[in-house]
Chain A
């Protein structure tokens, strides 16, 4: 324990590496089994069984799918812009994972006398016991989600195919319009919290024995944020960019093998990120009854809430039909955006009088 590297204790480095690995593995495993869960849940909702053959009740299905995609032939269209074509899936995937760096997934746990806050980009000041994290966490997340659009736009353009280009343009138009309303919904949260640090936002929701969640104070913002996020990650009912009936499969029409798998992973990783973010901002993060007494319980609460929201996404997919493109734009700009602006004004007025 006495060993120090560059002025920081050894335990600091071990904890950092461990946290990164845990968060990364969590997202990766959830991505793999979210695909399985989606097929199973939608299957049962439509009175089917879903995958059953690979392993017990099809449990090995994601691994089989992964292996299959891995051994497929890589096809790069001869007229494609090779560099952009190759880098697009990477650009789509990386921001989805990077967002997890600032999401707090648990309280402060103690391992071998060393306190570790369960959030990748954070450290604890041993003297004061205060947890420091990225103090612009919310903005960081918005910045990362604005980078994700590059992957889609580039994929659409670089494939040099009409379907891909249309899919890419639709996706980016949708992403940009709904990002605005999602951002404004977050604004009303940090009008309450008075901070941009996600750790602080979670701490402020710990009242009423861990049930003082912002969803009770800002139900409209939570609703708006979740809808806009679903639209931002191109899931049903907003999956216009990959509408099979119109566009083959949108921006990833020309992609095959692992590069296609990367887009697929990016989509699911984005879904997990959005669910984790909704949990953090509106559902109290890792807060819950007795979470402060038993720190590991916080981790359980966080995972449970995230999985519930993922289930909710799949439920929506099984229930609702797809929007038409003009309806989508109409909803984004003429319904959700004004509501979120009004919500900010109302929050401001109420906040002024209560204080």
Chain B
């Protein structure tokens, strides 16, 4: 059952990922990207990480992509503005080809290892994914958490100053 589900989701993910780069209209590309994010969230659920899945949809699909869609809309990019440049396509395909060879090589050489460390799947199911992340974040990784919050505060203040015409 799960394998079948995985296959369907993978199919959707791959098709929408191809659509991201093949759509003529940038808005349609953005929509396809949202769909890809959604499929990634489904993978997180299947990997027993529901919190990550919810955050993936909320932050990436819900917040960041809305921002990108807004930008595309208000810049009002016309379809004919995206002209084809053959040398760019050539360069891109060469880089893509070598990346593919690289990825295949690494995949063939490596072997999948069982997850290591104290957090096993059973433990996550028992205690809960959200609880575990919360505990770690507010004990072990408290300093980086606080630094991130100060960084975000600076960003908010900066945005307000940029948006305000007179202070």
Name A residues whose Cβ lies closer than 8 Å to a Cβ of B.
6, 81, 83-84, 87, 134-136, 139-140, 142-144, 146-147, 149-150, 153-154, 157-158, 165, 172, 176, 196
Contacts and interface: CB of A to CB of B under 8 A. Distances in A.
Given A147-B62, A153-B66, A139 B73 contact: no
B66 A150 contact: yes
B13 to A, nearest CB: 17
Interface string B58-74: 10011100100110010
Given A87-B31, A153-B70, A157-B27, A139 B62 contact: no
B7 to A, nearest CB: 15
Nearest to A168: B73
20 contacts: A81-B27, A81-B28, A83-B25, A84-B31, A136-B54, A136-B129, A139-B55, A142-B54, A142-B58, A143-B57, A143-B61, A146-B63, A147-B57, A147-B61, A149-B62, A153-B66, A153-B70, A154-B27, A165-B73, A172-B70
B73 A157 contact: yes
Interface residues of B, number: 23
Nearest to B51: A136
A140 B53 CA distance: 9
B42 to A, nearest CB: 12
Contact of B57 (A87, A146, A172, A196): A146
A132 to B, nearest CB: 10
Contacts of B129: 135-136
B119 to A, nearest CB: 16
Nearest to A5: B1
A136 B1 contact: no
A196 B130 contact: yes
Interface of B: 1, 25, 27-28, 31, 34, 50-51, 53-55, 57-58, 61-63, 66, 69-70, 73, 128-130
Contacts of A143: 54, 57-58, 61-62
Contacts of A139: 51, 54-55, 58
A6 B25 CA distance: 43
Given A81-B25, A87-B31, A135 B130 contact: yes
A211 to B, nearest CB: 28
A342 to B, nearest CB: 18
Contacts of A134: 50
A35 to B, nearest CB: 29
A135 B128 contact: yes
Nearest to B28: A83
Nearest to A157: B73
A153 B57 contact: no
A146 B129 CA distance: 22
B52 to A, nearest CB: 9
Nearest to A144: B57
A84 B27 contact: yes
Contacts of B63: 146
A86 to B, nearest CB: 11
Given A84-B25, A150-B66, A154-B31, 7 more contacts: A135-B129, A142-B54, A143-B58, A143-B62, A149-B66, A150-B34, A176-B66
Contacts of A172: 66, 70
B27 A146 contact: no
A135 B50 contact: yes
A152 to B, nearest CB: 11
A136 B1 CA distance: 23
Chain B CB within 10 Å, residue with most, of A139, A142, A143: A143
A334 B54 CA distance: 28
Contacts of A149: 62, 66
A69 B66 CA distance: 31
A51 B53 CA distance: 46
A305 to B, nearest CB: 26
A136 B25 contact: no
A144 B54 CA distance: 9
Contacts of A84: 25, 27-28, 31
A157 B77 CA distance: 12
Q: 9 closest pairs, A vs B, by CB? A: A146-B62, A139-B54, A143-B57, A143-B58, A136-B50, A157-B73, A136-B54, A6-B1, A143-B54
B81 to A, nearest CB: 15
A149 B31 CA distance: 12
Chain B CB within 10 Å, residue with most, of A6, A136, A147: A136
A150 B69 contact: yes
Contacts of A83: 25, 28
A153 B58 contact: no
